[in-house]
């Protein structure tokens, strides 16, 4: 059985306190790194970006449609301009000039129809651009919230890291002054059980929170004061004080 002076064993409670603080800081760090707000915002941002992509595509398609519509109107307008020039020149047979007038009338009707289509596309494009701008604002707002929360978490993580470094330094200094054999048992127990040592107080193990059975208490009472004893439930070292029983 491993041994250490009772006064030396009492020091394990302070060491365990430092390790508990380091564990708490580690849990806080993981909690910050997995902050559900980040996951929720990322999911919202993915959806918003998808909507924005669709809005941009709709604007792009409408702009292409408008260019085609403008080209159609320009083409018909050019034909009307040429035909009117021929008509105004007065050259050609009378029947040809009459036919030319009918063509110009037909082209004017065609241009009017195309201009109506062009106007409809322009109005639709304006609505799509408004929708795109609104969707872009949603994306910008989410990214802004994301940045604020990320900065807040990074600041907290920096604080946690600095505090953990300080505790780890104190822990190293404190552990260096402990009995080497006892420390080795403690470190092995901590790695295996998650708790290295706890107080045995009025028959209750503070490692498990359980009242020990009369048989377990009898075994501990029979052990020498410098024997290192363990909690039967949690497996951690039980540190006995004057009022442990």
In a domain, 79, yes or no: yes
Average pLDDT over residues 156-161: 97
Does residue 1 belong to any structural domain of this protein? no
pTM: 0.70
> Is 134 part of any domain?
yes
Same domain, 135 and 50: yes
b/e per residue 199-222 (b: at least 16 CB within 10 A): bbeeeebbbbeeebeeebeeebee
Looking at 174, 201, 229, the residue that finishes a domain is 174
d(C-alpha 148, C-alpha 53), whole Å: 24
The whole domain housing 216 covers: 6-29+179-240
What's the mean pLDDT when you consider all of the chain? Answer: 92
How much of the chain exceeds pLDDT 70, in percent?
A: 95
**Exposure string over 85-96, b if 16+ CB within 10 A, otherwise e:** eebeeeeeeeee
At 97 the pLDDT is 66
Confirm whether 72 is domain-assigned: yes
Q: Which residues of 65-74 are buried (b: 16+ CB within 10 A; e: fewer)?
A: bbeebeebbe
Q: Are residues 16 and 92 in the same domain?
A: no
| Percentage of residues of the chain with pLDDT beyond 90 | 78
d(CA 25, CA 31): 10
């Amino acid at each position: 059985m491993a041994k250490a002076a009772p006064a030396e064993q009492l020091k394990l409670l302070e060491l365990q306190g430092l390790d508990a603080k380091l564990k708490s800081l580690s849990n806080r760090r993981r909690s910050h790194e997995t902050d559900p707000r980040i996951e929720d915002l990322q999911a919202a941002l993915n959806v918003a970006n998808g909507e924005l992509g669709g809005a941009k595509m709709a604007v792009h398609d409408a702009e292409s449609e408008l260019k085609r519509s403008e080209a159609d109107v320009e083409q018909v307008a050019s034909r009307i301009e040429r035909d009117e020039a021929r008509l105004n020149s007065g050259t050609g047979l009378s029947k040809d000039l009459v036919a030319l007038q009918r063509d110009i009338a037909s082209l004017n009707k065609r241009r009017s129809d195309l201009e109506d289509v062009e106007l409809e596309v322009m109005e639709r494009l304006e609505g799509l651009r408004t929708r795109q701008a609104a969707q872009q604002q949603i994306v910008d707002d989410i990214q802004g919230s994301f940045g604020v929360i990320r900065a807040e978490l990074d600041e907290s993580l920096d604080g946690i890291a600095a505090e953990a470094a300080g505790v780890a330094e104190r822990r190293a200094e404190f552990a260096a002054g402990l009995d080497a054999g006892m420390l080795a048992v403690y470190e092995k127990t901590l790695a295996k059980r998650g708790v290295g040592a706890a107080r045995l107080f009025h028959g209750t193990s503070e490692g498990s929170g359980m009242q020990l059975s009369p048989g377990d208490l009898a075994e501990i009472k029979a052990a020498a004061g410098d024997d290192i004893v363990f909690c039967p439930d949690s497996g951690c070292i039980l540190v006995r004080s004057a009022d442990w029983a």
